[in-house]
Amino acid sequence: MTTESETLVTQDLIERKGKFSEPKVAPPIALSDIRKWAIAVYWPDEPPPMYWDEDYAKTTRHGSIIAPLDFNPFAWPVHREPVPAARASADGAGIGTRGMNGGQTEEYFEPMRAGDVISTTTGLTEWVERTTRLGPTLFTTTETRWTNQNCELVKVRKSIGIRY
């Protein structure tokens, strides 16, 4: 564990814990988006028919075409937020400013379908601070919750960030 004088836990971090962002809303999912995504991720093989064949999909427990689990309705944004200056370069990097991706996990709930409108909110849910061979190191967990227009949970992504 790091000493208090070496901590990477800031007041801002403490204040953000457990608070989620305002929702981001994707355009309604089009059937052609689902089909194109399935073709792309299964290429060069044919995707399972539940992702493109309406007659087949009606016979499944879902009753209609569903999107592959990894489908992302936010994948083609028209407008992108600018990269914060602090992340644009390593100039002036010091303790706590360097970082890396510690991985992510996803848990799936309701399938996404044509016509669904997906919203996401993101929040800092926890952190652990340790002294590693890199020095003071902070492991943060950020959770992104996806819901559909019926407020049903679609997916939860937990991402680990590592700062040192």
- The confidence band for 118, taking pLDDT boundaries of 50, 70 and 90, is very high
Question: What is the H or E stretch that residue 138 is in?
Answer: strand 135-147
The 3-state DSSP composition of the chain as helix, strand, coil percent (nearest 5) reads: 20, 35, 45
Place of tokens 């539940």: 50
Alpha-carbon distance of 7 to 128, in angstroms, equals 11
Higher-pLDDT residue of 159 and 85 is 159
pLDDT digits (tens, 9 = 90+) for 15-60: 899 899 999 999 999 999 999 999 999 999 999 999 999 999 999 9
pLDDT of residue 64 exceeding 60: yes
The average confidence (pLDDT) of the chain is 89
| DSSP letter (8 states) at residue 76 | S
> Torsions phi, psi of 14, nearest 5?
-60, -40
Domains defined along the chain, listed by start: 1-28+98-164 (3.10.129.10), 30-72 (no CATH)
- The confidence band for 2, taking pLDDT boundaries of 50, 70 and 90, is very low
- The confidence band for 12, taking pLDDT boundaries of 50, 70 and 90, is confident
Range among 65-79, 87-101, 146-160 with highest mean pLDDT value: 146-160
Alpha-carbon distance of 73 to 25, in angstroms, equals 9
| pLDDT for position 76 | 75
| Portion of the chain with pLDDT greater than 90, in percent | 69
